Amino acid sequence: MNFKIEGLSKSFNKKNVLKDITFTFESGKIYGLLGRNGAGKTTLFNCLNKDMKFDSGKVSIEENFKERDLVAEDIGYVLSTPTVPEFLTGREFLKFFFDIHKKNLKEDKSIDEYFDFMSIDVRDRDKLLKDYSHGMKNKMQMLINIIAEPNILLLDEPLTSLDVVVAEEMKELLKGIKKDRIIIFSTHIMDLALDLCDEIVLLHNGELEIVDKENMGSVEFKEKIIAALKED
């Protein structure tokens, strides 16, 4: 499976944020979308998720050499600031999600099995989501996207504000679920991208560029990216 972006452009008040982007993402990989703050990473995600109308271009899925339009079920989107219904408990939230998506769910696991999978303590499962920590809310947001099993998972800096333990758990989780799907991980932290991702894609001056990983981790490699991120 390939996720294809062709000629995608988006402007705000005559400022070109995304400029005629053409790129193909392949399944089974975690892509690090690297760019400075304000480079347009969230704008790109909002366009791909169709939360924002882009000015021109198209996005599509290619499977078995056949191309089709992207549909809502193809995309999962995890925001940097988790958005969950805080008036529900964790268990109620998952049950509600199960009830409205039951026709499309591929696995028949119990709610507690999913809680176990995400390492959410038994004592926290029946707490109101408003009493969850930022990291736990992030886990719940990630969990519903894992349950839905979208072809493409967009992650908008979900690890930036998490403590070390939760961040490591999330990184291992992502590595374990990347098979048969495309994960695009947005970050402005280079070392995180190098540690987690199979491919590094630089969003710079409104364009996407794959970064050669042959010398990944070398001083020269890092200096090249840093130089690009510092340019206006």
DSSP, res 27: T
For the entire predicted model, the pTM comes to 0.86
Report the distance separating Cα 74 and Cα 76, nearest Å. Answer: 7
Q: What are phi and psi of 163, to 5 degrees?
A: -70, 165
pLDDT tens sequence across 42-52: 899 999 998 89
User: What amino acid occupies position 227?
Assistant: A
Please say whether the beta carbons of 151 and 74 come within 8 A: yes
pLDDT tens sequence across 139-170: 898 888 888 889 999 998 777 656 677 778 77
Q: What is the CATH number of the domain that holds 42?
A: 3.40.50.300
Instruction: Domain of residue 111: give its range.
Output: 2-230
Domain count, the chain: 1
DSSP state string for 137-179: HHHHHHHHHHHH--SEEEEESTTTTS-HHHHHHHHHHHHHH-T
pLDDT tens sequence across 30-71: 999 988 777 888 899 999 998 899 999 999 999 988 999 988
